[in-house]
Amino acid sequence: MTTVMYFETNSPEETEALGCALGKTLSAGAWVGLDGDLGAGKTCFTRGIAAGVGVPTGCPVTSPTFTLLNVYEGDLMLYHLDLYRLSSEDDLEAIGYYDLFTDEGVVLVEWASRILSSAPERHLSFFIEQMSETSRRFALTLHGWTEEEREALGSSLSNWSTSEA
């Protein structure tokens, strides 16, 4: 069963707080995909996730647009990929994508729709829509999650929840 949940934030700080709340729920081996227009807030959301998985405050979390991969060490490793410049899924092997699937960390992929066929069976996919200068709407699709896991995640993120489909 695929579940879609919706969340809204009204400032960059709220976007980071939503990411942090999500990050606190993630465990090693999690895969999170992010999509949305340029400037939608993917990297801001990622900063929050980084805080949630224990990346130290003050560690600069930036988009790996040109490097393709940034690695952050926290309570869990965070492997942050930006695939905007990826030519095809064939490039995944060259950047070491498949080597990131370990029990040590979380894989977070910006522009994930470019490689969804290479996502693990159990994963989260976010589409971030910019509603105004500061507000964002997040559509979260849960793939391969049990009903109990969906309920627990929804409860953890309930401060930002708007509805479920």
pLDDT band at 163 (very low <50, low <70, confident <90, very high): low
Write the pLDDT tens digit of every residue in 81-107.
988 877 677 778 777 878 887 778 999
Question: Are the beta carbons of 18 and 48 closer than 8 angstroms?
Answer: yes
Please state, in angstroms and rounded to a whole number, the distance separating the CA atoms of residues 61 and 120: 24
Say which amino acid occupies 96.
Answer: G
Cross-strand pairs, 11: none
Fold held by 3-164? Rossmann fold (3.40.50)
Read off φ and ψ for residue 126, nearest 5 degrees.
Answer: -110, 135
Which pair of tokens denotes residue 77? 């490793």
**What is the value of pTM for the model shown?**
0.90
pLDDT surpasses 60 at 155: yes
Q: Where are the domains of the chain?
A: 3-164
Give per-residue burial for 64-100: e unless 16+ CB within 10 Å, then b: beeebbbebebebbbbbbbbeebeeeeebeeeebeeb
